Amino acid sequence: MVENRPWLTFISHLVLIIGLAIVVFPVWVAFVASTYDPKSMLSGVVPLTPGDQFFQNYYQIFVEGLSSAGAPPVGLMMVNSMVMAMAIAIGKIAISIISAFAIVYFKFPGRVLAFWTIFITLMLPVEVRILPTFEVTAGLGLLNSYSGLTLPLIASATATFLFRQFFMTIPEELSEAARIDGAGPLKFFRDILLPLSRTNMAGLFVILFIYGWNQYLWPLIVTTDESYYTIVMGIQRMVTVPDSEPLWHVIMATVLLAMIPPVLVVVFMQRLFIKGLVETEK
């Protein structure tokens, strides 16, 4: 604060509160809509105060699902999303940290080639090679399976870079000392590199968990079996019901449940989240 200008401070707070309201308002509307029964939803505009159907609606979607729209129970979809998000986050970190270790701590023929091959994946997001990737996955018999949902998304140039940059900053003395004491590469990796990388891994985990949870296009094309639906893509199945108005109270309840886990991760691991975000963009 350079000088005291009460008016400007007042305006700052006002702008921030308006911004906050715009950010929160859609979620409030969704929450309100999820607490009414379907009839009151179809008779005019959605009210702005919650109704009395909260427990009934959430119980219904959690256990029974919306069979008329071909969507499985939300509980099952959340389990699928959780499996997918965890597998992607852990898988990406695991294979990236070992390849970064190989690239930084070994000299071997083909090292530069391996690095550039991994680098190229930055330029090939799923969206631009949808059809051929689908064909490969189908050819390997991975449709409608957890491995099909996660494996093709696990390669990560960003994570490999991040670990490479981090390893380059680790003092040479550590590996020298390890070698003098007779530690082999695997022991060095396990007892020195892994503990040092803990905060980097945690920051990266937060970002990758959100990335995995929010996947949409990929689950949409590799799953046709309802028992493998993830919650984010399951919403789409509920929204596009032919010949009738969508069941808004159920959809909005699902929407809220779909955003709770990643939002909780961001709010409660804010420091790690910001660290991960800033680092992955370097």
Partner 1 sequence: MQTKRITFNNRWLPYLLVAPQLAITLVFFIWPASQALYQSVLREDAFGLSSEFVWFENFETLFDDPLYLSSFKVTLVFSAGTTLLSMGAALLLAVMADRVIRGSTFYKTFLIWPYAVAPAVAGVLWWFMFNPTIGILAYTMRQLGYDWNHTLNANDALLLIIIAAAWKQVSYNFLFFLAGLQAIPRSLIEAAAIDGAGPQKRFWTIVFPLLSPTAFFLMVVNIVYSFFETFAIVHATTAGGPGQATSILVYKVWRDGFVSLDLGGSAAQSVILMLIVISLTVVQFRFIERRVEY
Name residues contacting partner 1, limited to 120-139 (CB under 8 A): 120-125, 127-137
Packed helices 6-33 and 248-268: angle between N→C axes, nearest 10 degrees: 130
CB 254 within 8 A of CB 231: yes
Q: Taking the CA atoms of the chain, what radius of gyration do you get in angstroms?
A: 24
Binding residue (CB under 8 A) for partner 1 from 39, 49, 106, 182: 106
30 or 76: CB nearest partner 1: 30
- Binding mask of the shown chain, residues 139 to 168, with x at each position contacting partner 1 by CB under 8 A: -x----------xx-xxx---x------xx
* Minimum distance of partner 1 from residue 55's CB (angstroms): 22
Residues 6+ apart with CB under 8 A from 77: 71, 229, 230, 231, 234
Q: Which two tokens stand for residue 30?
A: 């969704």
* Minimum distance of partner 1 from residue 258's CB (angstroms): 6
Give how many residues touch partner 1 by CB under 8 A.
Answer: 112
Packed helices 157-168 and 270-280: angle between N→C axes, nearest 10 degrees: 90
* Minimum distance of partner 1 from residue 112's CB (angstroms): 6
262 sits near partner 1 (criterion: CB under 8 A): yes
- Binding mask of the shown chain, residues 169 to 208, with x at each position contacting partner 1 by CB under 8 A: ---x--xx--x----xxx-x--------------------
Between CA 8 and CA 130 the distance in angstroms is 50
Binding residue (CB under 8 A) for partner 1 from 35, 99, 158, 223: 99
- Binding mask of the shown chain, residues 206 to 245, with x at each position contacting partner 1 by CB under 8 A: ----x--xx-xx--xx----------xx-xx--xx----x
Segment 63-92, which members bind partner 1 (CB under 8 A)? Answer: none
Between CA 185 and CA 190 the distance in angstroms is 9
**Phi, psi torsion values for 71, nearest 5 degrees:** -110, 135
DSSP state, 243?
A: T
Q: Which two tokens stand for residue 212?
A: 């995995």
